[in-house]
Structure 1
Amino acid sequence: MKTKLCLLLLCVAIAIPAWSVENAAPMVEVQSPHFTILTNSSEKQGRHVADQLERMRSVFHTLFPNATVDPNSPIIVLALKDKKSFESLLPGDRQGKGQLTLAGYFMQSPEKNYILLRLDAEGEHPFDTVYHEYTHLQFRKAAEWMPLWMNEGEAEFFQNTTLENKEVLLGQPSVNDILYLRQQKLIPLQTLLTVDASSPYYHEENKGSIFYSESWALTHYLMVTDKIEHTQRVLDYLALMSQHVDSVTAAQKAFGDLTVLQHKLQDYVSHGDYKMFRVMADTRVDENTFTAKPLTGPQTNAVRADVLAYGDREEDAKTLATSVLHDDPSNTQAFETMGYLAFRGGNHQEAGDWYEKAVQGNSQSYIAHYYFAVINIDSYDPKTSAQVEASLRAAIKLNPQFAPSYEELAVFYVQRRRNEQEAHMLSVQAVQLDPANVSFRINAANVLASQGNYDAAVQVLEAAEKIATTPNSVASLREQAAQMQEFAKRKQENEQLQASAKSENAPVETTLAGANGVVRTQQADVTVDGSQVQQDTKTHKLLIGKVAVNNLTKHPDETPSGPTQIASGIIHGVQCSSPATLDLNLQGTKATLALYSGNYFRIEYSALNFTPEGEIHPCKDLEGMKAKIAYAASSDKTVAGQVVSIELSK
């Protein structure tokens, strides 16, 4: 986020009036190779913003040639002509008295990236806000562990960039920041290093200004001295932070005594011996590749409604989107926004209806296709299943860089035991597109496990530990890996016993124990190599001639088919057996249902009114829980059906 400083007087943001639906001035859309600019100013101004962003993208590509400079989701920039139109779209927590006066704001989500810019903001560099917000976008994958002072300090460092025809000037000193810091007492480094998004230093005008200025000064000092002294203290610090070392400890290890660093920073600010970097790079862009078109009033308001939705202003977004649909009943952007609001509110049925309208309206939004599929993926109705598959393929075609579409299609195939090799490749593609996403790696492991390839699944989980961001995540990954190693061991033992039963007549005995240690029983009457198979009901062993072996076929191995049914109640009698079979009873108010899954990795788990601590482990976490379970019919008439999804609640 970018703040404009008032040098001697603190600026206090004026509270925004209560929201009302209004006929906003239609916008102009400018499309460049890597950005979409929407502006309520002029087409010329929109093209200028696009030019600056394309050139800044070129700078990052030059500085970090091996990095991915383009996000997997589109970058949509709203270049707003004045303070009123800018502040009307800010999130609710960025409005009201005492808030920092902003010139730009970055809104990130997995589906899209919105950058809000004020075109009338004053400053030393006319496009400093553009560069500032774009820098945040470049460091998006490190935002989870990068401390706030460094994230904002880097953005402040790159915002003062001058783009010339064949060279770029980076890290130019900010006169405003220098003058402001010289008249203020610096924040103690112990405090600066630990500021987070909930801190007054990040929100309040009377504290935020010094935070941003000092973050810039410390970042500038460290980067310049690293260059002069041929050190890499900044890189060392970031490496420690990425390993989840706390910010103060990491700073002490990378920068040394913080008291000494505080004095050096104060001297740096006071003496004004600032340097900058000069990079040879031709960043000129051919504006003939840009296209522009005017938007109608409803199209403009549909965009504004979507921005409000992603800014957590649900009621305002819904009011505006409803107004759009009154004026333009077929507006697919408004359908999508209403679907997003319903989905986030937990009303999946309503969300599905809205996204279905967007898809049927020939929406070219990959998000509409993606969410339609996510909401309906548990349906085994043939028509709906075909629509889900088609929508996921459409989402991939519309945005080949959006990793979640690949993951969901992999889940779709695994649930139905179809296209198993393609499911594996799709899960790998999701990981390659977003390697920092641990959940994608877990899904890739589950796909392998569903195919019985436990060793490879364990390797994927072990690799995921290296990028896990919390100790709880690491512990969860290790627990899942241990479970899969146990499954692999039991599978190997079963194969050896079955082979022995066919080739030998020596007495071998083993009991049938599930993954949770529960002994399982089953009636059987089949013949293997001419030997009658019976069950000893006293010892719970299966006897094949003189050989006792584990029985792994309690239920038929079949793909769920037909429509799903929904039942609610309390889960009891949870039993797991190798390799990944789950049996449970769902006790409702009128009846108790016996349900099973031949592979509990295929079950879709969710939580309605609480956040689980780590991954859900069906063998130990489901017992006694309230749940809504979707299940499909089974040819095994001893049970009510096969579990498709489980929604847990407190």
Structure 2
Amino acid sequence: MKFRPLRTAIPGIALALLVTGAAVSATAKDTWTSVHSKNFTLVGNASEKDIRLVANRLEQFRQVFGLLFPTITINSPVPTTVIVFKSDSSYKPFKVNPNVAGYFQPGEDVNYITLTTEKSSDEQPFRTIFHEYVHLLVENTMGATVPLWFNEGLAEYYSTFDIKDDYRRVILGDLIANHVLYLRENKFLPLRTLFAVDYKSPYYNEGNKMNVFYAESWMLMHYLLQGDSQKHRPQLAKFVDLLRANATIDEAFQQAFQSSIDSVEKDFRSYIQGASYKATGITFEHKLDFDSEMQSAPLAEAEAHAYLGDLLLHTRQLAGAEAQIQQALALSPDLPMAEAAYGMLRVRQGRMEDARPYLEKAVTANSQNYLTHYYYAFALSSLSMNEYRVVSSYPPEVAAKMRAELKKAIALKPDFPESYSLLGFVNVVRNEEVDETIDLLKRALKISPANHRMLFMLAQLYLRQERFAEARQLLEPIAHNSPDPDMRKRAEGLLENVKHMEEQIAQIKEFQKQSIAAQTETAQRSGPPMTLTTAPTQDDMNSALVEALRKPLSGETRVQGMLTTIECSAKGGIIFQVRAGDRLLKFHSNNFDGVDITAFTTDVSGEITCGVRKPENWVILTYAPPKAGSKSDGETKAIEFVPKSFVLKP
């Protein structure tokens, strides 16, 4: 139940508006109110009383959720804005689905929660909101090591959260009728099968199988939190702590529950068959009421339109976003938040040059807001994208300006992780300040430990320093657990590069060992003392790499040269240009997936993108004869990046 947009090589972002308070509504002449609680900014055209009730409910939920894992600090570094509509009719233009009463929209710069307080619908807006908010808290605090059944089961368990009796009695684990029905009508999944489900599994992606997975994950969490007189609660908390300490699932399960998976499965089946599961109540001595900690204020009409535009920008409704932001600028031409919103809208539309002046004005007018500096840096980054929306290089002056803006953003708000992420990306692309960037990313990961983009960047930098074990430790959880299929694929590719580079180094060390042994034997036979060579020769290293390279298949040929350009056609098809001696050769491929790409050097790591190579790369390219009618020199089968000193002998 995760509704998260895919991310590109540079993360696509929307906009978190740059004011201390704003409200939105479908009708500009409504009364607008903003309410600020400890962890949320709420805006809406509902009454102030209703908005405060929503704020209280969310703060209560967050407080109770934190009690389950007392050793973990609940963390949400990206701000969350809640829009509360007074009626379904005013909410309708801003829904992502006409049938929902509320939804959660995650973002890298801001998260949005939207709902209506109108009581005419039977929908339960908070159930979806609580489910998705649990995902946010789990990923921010527990990282990529948490298994999918745990993440979804916990989200479903907490989705039924309710509070009664003057805010003193909390109800958790209420029954979800659909899940009970699925468990009665479908075959039970063995726990080992349930534990093996990941984002690529049919049980997460296919119709009825997915329903069974959600139902059983919910019921297992229900059993672990409420079954056997709640004796498993501290065990579950220990299980999470062990996973965060990099224990395997089997190891963590055995240590935490002091029982095998098979034994727990037997008790779990009995729990289901007994049908004695029900909600549980927790009574607090003092009522959970956060109203006195809140501040409220009225909002201007222009700010309301800007908020509406921002929401539509996050939900990818660009035409509606533009209309709302233009209304904001018509009412208040110098409103910094509207200028920033309009600039980011132009970035999203690919109109980079149009975006720049609006963001420059926003930075000048609102220099103490961290997001204005971050957005400006992001826009500068976008100006360096090629036609495929990929950044392969930054001019020195652009990199310098981006760094300056991002450092200002970090100084203003040190706990906002995206500023670190983009600054790290600048240095990765430029291959500069590697040690400083590693320290920077480590700081950011303390704030947002599950940020896969930052973990991937850190792994790239470790690879450049030949710190293979550390790179693998970061990449394996991403390759297995990331909800983003593109990120999983990139992590799998980089893991393959780690494997090849380790094999190359191992072969070189073996040659070194054999060389020393041979010299020792010669010295012992000849008598006179001699100095032993401890380093492999260039010929040794070349020989080791030759053994590691992909062997050409029948009909294939290899050529060594400089990879100068990767041309990607919008209609499909790729041309790899290789300069070999005084010739410029062109090799065709239908797509990247059909090419075996491997790196045997730390000069290149991570993703291979379209465009001119800066710097150019020394490669071994294996190709088959060109197809009939093709103007290329052959069909690309493999590209292997090699050290500059390597020479492939005929």
What TM-score comes out, normalization by structure 2 length? 0.60
Deviation per CA, 1:436-484: give whole Å up to 9, x if none: 334323322333454xx32x35423334324542585664343232355
Offset at residue 139 of structure 1 (A): 3.7
Partner residue, 2:421:
407
Q: How does 1:165-176 map to 2 (within 5 A)?
A: 168-171=169-172, 173=174
Partner residue, 1:155:
158
Please report the RMSD computed on the Cα atoms of aligned residues, expressed in angstroms.
5.7
Q: 2:325·2:341 contact (CA, 8 Å) conserved in 1?
A: yes
Q: Secondary structure at the match of 2:322?
A: helix
Q: 2:459·2:475 contact (CA, 8 Å) conserved in 1?
A: no
Inter-CA distance 288–449: structure 2 relative to 1 (3 Å threshold): same
Partner residue, 1:295:
299
Partner residue, 1:510:
538
In structure 2, C-alpha distance between the alignment counterparts of 1:623 and 1:38, rounded to whole Å: 60
Offset at residue 43 of structure 1 (A): 2.7
Partner residue, 2:646:
none
Partner residue, 1:264:
273
2:115 equivalent to 1:109: no
Offset at residue 147 of structure 1 (A): 7.7
Offset at residue 375 of structure 1 (A): 4.4
Partner residue, 2:119:
121
Partner residue, 1:464:
475
Inter-CA distance 417–169: structure 2 relative to 1 (3 Å threshold): closer
What TM-score comes out, normalization by structure 1 length? 0.60
Partner residue, 1:369:
373
Deviation per CA, 1:215-257: give whole Å up to 9, x if none: 87776466422545758998899999x9899xxxxxx968748
Q: Secondary structure at the match of 2:366?
A: coil
Offset at residue 331 of structure 1 (A): 3.5
2:482 equivalent to 1:482: no
Q: 2:81·2:111 contact (CA, 8 Å) conserved in 1?
A: yes
In structure 1, C-alpha distance between the alignment counterparts of 2:477 and 2:289, rounded to whole Å: 39
Q: How does 1:514-593 map to 2 (within 5 A)?
A: 570-573=575-578
Partner residue, 2:34:
29
Aligned amino acid, residue 296 of structure 1? A
Aligned amino acid, residue 538 of structure 2? T
In structure 2, C-alpha distance between the alignment counterparts of 1:327 and 1:46, rounded to whole Å: 26
Aligned amino acid, residue 170 of structure 1? I
In structure 2, C-alpha distance between the alignment counterparts of 1:321 and 1:623, rounded to whole Å: 52
Match of 1:446 among 443, 460, 481: 460
Q: 1:21·1:320 contact (CA, 8 Å) conserved in 2?
A: no
In structure 2, C-alpha distance between the alignment counterparts of 1:415 and 1:567, rounded to whole Å: 20
Partner residue, 1:80:
85
Deviation per CA, 1:149-196: give whole Å up to 9, x if none: 635522333x2234756x54332646xx66x999999653669x8775
Q: Secondary structure at the match of 1:138?
A: helix
Aligned amino acid, residue 453 of structure 2? S
Deviation per CA, 1:366-408: give whole Å up to 9, x if none: 4443343244356755653332112211332344233232133
Q: How many residues align?
A: 506
Offset at residue 82 of structure 1 (A): 1.5
Inter-CA distance 380–128: structure 2 relative to 1 (3 Å threshold): closer
Deviation per CA, 1:332-378: give whole Å up to 9, x if none: 43444444444445555555555444334426654443343244356
Inter-CA distance 313–326: structure 2 relative to 1 (3 Å threshold): same
In structure 2, C-alpha distance between the alignment counterparts of 1:321 and 1:620, rounded to whole Å: 52
Aligned amino acid, residue 74 of structure 1? P
Partner residue, 1:138:
137
2:427 equivalent to 1:394: no
Inter-CA distance 285–605: structure 2 relative to 1 (3 Å threshold): farther
Partner residue, 2:227:
225
Moved more, 346-355 or 487-496: 487-496
Match of 1:66 among 71, 90, 100: 71
Inter-CA distance 29–476: structure 2 relative to 1 (3 Å threshold): same
Aligned amino acid, residue 227 of structure 2? T
In structure 2, C-alpha distance between the alignment counterparts of 1:469 and 1:77, rounded to whole Å: 32
Offset at residue 124 of structure 1 (A): 12
Q: How does 1:5-24 map to 2 (within 5 A)?
A: 23=28
Aligned amino acid, residue 171 of structure 1? L
In structure 2, C-alpha distance between the alignment counterparts of 1:486 and 1:84, rounded to whole Å: 63
Identity within the alignment, %: 24
Q: How does 1:200-349 map to 2 (within 5 A)?
A: 220=222, 223-228=225-230, 230=232, 256=265, 264=273, 267-268=275-276, 274-278=278-282, 280=284, 282=286, 284=288, 287-349=291-353
In structure 2, C-alpha distance between the alignment counterparts of 1:212 and 1:482, rounded to whole Å: 35
Partner residue, 2:61:
56
Deviation per CA, 1:65-100: give whole Å up to 9, x if none: 223423121011112211122232111xx12xxx4x
Aligned amino acid, residue 56 of structure 2? D
In structure 1, C-alpha distance between the alignment counterparts of 2:367 and 2:495, rounded to whole Å: 42
Inter-CA distance 54–234: structure 2 relative to 1 (3 Å threshold): closer
Compare relative contact order (CA 8 Å, sep 6+) and give the higher one, 1 or 2. Answer: 2
Partner residue, 1:12:
none
Q: 1:336·1:358 contact (CA, 8 Å) conserved in 2?
A: yes
Inter-CA distance 515–600: structure 2 relative to 1 (3 Å threshold): farther
Name whichever structure is richer in helix by fraction.
Answer: 2
